[in-house]
Structure 1
Amino acid sequence: MSETAIVGKTEVDKDIDASSDVLGEAEGTPAAESAEKPRKVSDGLVRGIVFTVLGGAMWGMNGTISKVLMDGYGVAPLWLACVRELSACWLFLIAAGVHSPNRLRGALSDGRSLLSILSIALFSILFSQVAYLEAIHWTNSATATILQSLEVVLVMVYVCLVNRRSPRKREIAGLMLALAGTFLVATGGDPSKLQLPVEGLAWGLGCAAAAAVLAIQPIRMIDRWGNFTVNGLAFLFSGLILAAFVQPWANVPQIDPAGIALLCCSILMGTFGAYALFLQGTKMVGSVRGSMLATTEPMMATLSSIVWLGAVFSPADLLGFAMIIVMVFLTA
């Protein structure tokens, strides 16, 4: 999933789904515009589908680009996370300044909101960035993205606990598929051995937990200040915190022009561009349909890993991937 953006793609209940309208709200777009004429609604739906599919595909490709940078150029996961955050944050803030300047100024002048956004930076942005890139480092973009999709199960459990209800039949079926799919991906079908490195499995599951936090924690702040404002400030805070430890200026990897182009592509297309497209697309098609269309992310990650990196997946891997993707459709 969106590895770096605050967006609720995994809502599985009416309460979470209602909040997702906030997460998918386009900055400065009047709601009445979407209900003028049937033809415009239809055109908007088509555009929304295209935007959502492209956004998910860009996120999937971004995972493979990250793998190339880490393996081909020796870029450390934490260095990459820090540089992407400190670069992309300004794109989000510029977008906020253009589309919703009053919200941006309001957030900057509200001390309590800034503390809340700092919390989002720590527990949502920083956690998800580091976990996702570490999972890619230890495995590959396809496996990391598939394991990240398990966030849907965690959000489902959260919704059931909050609403004090039992899981529905299709949610139980999705949970069973998630467990079976994870088993196949981790062991290749042989319970006597672990096919993934222990670190890769641990970071992959941590990535799912981080994505679940992303789907839940920022809702109130985004409702109040908007997506671009909250993302821009949260990325900035998270990047500054990482910079204090990583010191990216002191540990610059040797990157040739092709590597610099890949890094720019990761920032512009894979982070800001993918987020902006998915955000707008989800606003147009709704969060449930958006979560299903976003399965282009693991599909693109898998295809690009095979074509670009020559990754080889066993039949058990592919079956496990398919089970987890079907799980998304059952529980979304």
Structure 2
Amino acid sequence: MMFFQLVLFAILGLMFCQYSYMTAIYYSNSSTAAILQYLNPIFIMFYTCLVCKRLPYKKELLCVALAFGGTFILATHGNIHEMVLSFEGLFWGVLAGLAASFYSLLPRHIMNKYGSLIPTGYAMIIGGVVLGAIGRVWNISVSLDIFGYLGMIGIIVIGTVLAFSMYLIGVNLIGPMRASLIAAVEPLSATICMCLWLHSPFTLIDVLGFIMIMSTIFILSYKKKS
């Protein structure tokens, strides 16, 4: 049973999350992909309602409206007749949010028994083998310079091993919703780096969509004191 959960976590969680996120960046940009990935609390909310067999609360319905509204603004800039964000970028960005919810929910039972580092390591191996087989990496010839190798090392060590491991440690300690709240610094840092380093445009209406989507995390995490 644990092995089956590990395989699901490796493929639907880690592999699917990383691949959809990287593909969303390819079709859009790092900031938009990071923002759309943070639709994951909405998917977690729907899962919670399904498991608990209840209807969404008022604040949850508000978050759904904000999430859909923010996504609409990012994709169209308010013009229903024109897509500013490509369909592929929107599609993979939403899938990245769904995959991030899988990544947060699937390993809970495994982490309670084995911690976070061991399941993450095995999941990376399983996911890498599966994705490598699907992509037939043995047929791909790649020639990289020193900057290419440094970029690969950064993605593997910092962007994958450290980022995923530390996030799961946070999930194990404080739960998926609070971990998502704290990790919400990612879209902000991605936006700042994209504008300052890559000189990519980011308009005020993009900021509005950004705020609408990110506000859902804070609303869902807020609890009234008794």
User: TM > 0.5 between the two?
Assistant: yes
SS in structure 1 at match of 2:150: helix
Distance in 2 separating the partners of 1:229 and 1:283: 13
Judge conservation of contact 1:188–1:314 (CA < 8 Å) in 2: no
1:245 Cα deviation (Å)?
2.9
The percent identity for this pair of structures is: 33
Q: Whose relative contact order is higher, 1 or 2, with alpha carbons under 8 Å and at least 6 apart?
A: 1
Cross-structure match for 2:86: 197
SS in structure 2 at match of 1:300: helix
Larger Cα Rg: Structure 1 or Structure 2? 1
Look up the equivalent residue of 2:74 and give its one-letter code: V
Q: 1:236 aligns with which of 125, 131, 147?
A: 125
Residue 219 in structure 1 maps to residue 108 in structure 2 = yes
Mark the CA change 1:230 to 1:208 in structure 2 (over 3 Å): closer, same or farther. Answer: same
Q: 2:162 aligns with which of 242, 257, 273?
A: 273
Q: 1:260 aligns with which of 133, 149, 157?
A: 149
Distance in 1 separating the partners of 2:98 and 2:69: 18
Distance in 1 separating the partners of 2:5 and 2:167: 24
Residue 113 in structure 1 maps to residue 2 in structure 2 = yes
Cross-structure match for 1:143: 32
Q: 1:183 aligns with which of 72, 75, 83?
A: 72
Distance in 1 separating the partners of 2:144 and 2:166: 29
Gaps of 5+ in 2: 222-226
1:182 Cα deviation (Å)?
0.6
1:324 Cα deviation (Å)?
0.7
1:115 Cα deviation (Å)?
3.3
TM-score, length-scaled by structure 1: 0.62
Structure 1 stretches of 4+ with a deviation exceeding 3 A read: 247-250, 275-290
Q: How many residues align?
A: 221
Q: Deviations for 1:229-255, whole angstroms, at most 9, x for unmatched residues? A: 111111111111122232435424222
1:287 Cα deviation (Å)?
5.3
Gaps of 5+ in 1: 1-111
Cross-structure match for 1:245: 134
Distance in 2 separating the partners of 1:284 and 1:123: 22
Judge conservation of contact 2:67–2:213 (CA < 8 Å) in 1: yes
Residues 114-133 of structure 1: pairs in structure 2 closer than 5 A: 114-133=3-22
Q: Deviations for 1:177-218, whole angstroms, at most 9, x for unmatched residues? A: 111101100101111111111111111111111111112222
Distance in 2 separating the partners of 1:123 and 1:279: 15
Judge conservation of contact 2:104–2:171 (CA < 8 Å) in 1: no
